Structure 1
Amino acid sequence: MKHGTRLTLKEKKHLTSYSINPDNWLVSKRDGDMLTLRHRLTDEVKHIPKP
């Protein structure tokens, strides 16, 4: 599996609007109009729309 990357400031603000703690998540893919997020500890995957 590919390593995740840090969130940008704009993405962090967008995640807080979804009640997601940005400190626990990494971006694994920025694809079209979706962000694929991976949890740092549990490897849970979430898909949310891009800001």
Structure 2
Amino acid sequence: MRMTKRLLREGQSSTLASLLEMSAGYQAIAHKTADHREAVTAFIEKRAPRFA
């Protein structure tokens, strides 16, 4: 949520190119979290995710 809010704030004064670069970096960070792994596993197993 923090990264999304930051992107929204930056969007008011940044270029599209810099926002896309920042967004890609944030996605790379988010994909390494335990919550992301749980979400993907739950999706594959067709069950509701259990976040910590």
- TM-score normalized with structure 2 length: 0.24
Q: Which has the higher contact order (CA 8 A, sep 6+)?
A: 1
Bigger helix share: 2
Bigger strand share: 1
- TM-score normalized with structure 1 length: 0.24
Q: Which has the larger radius of gyration?
A: 2
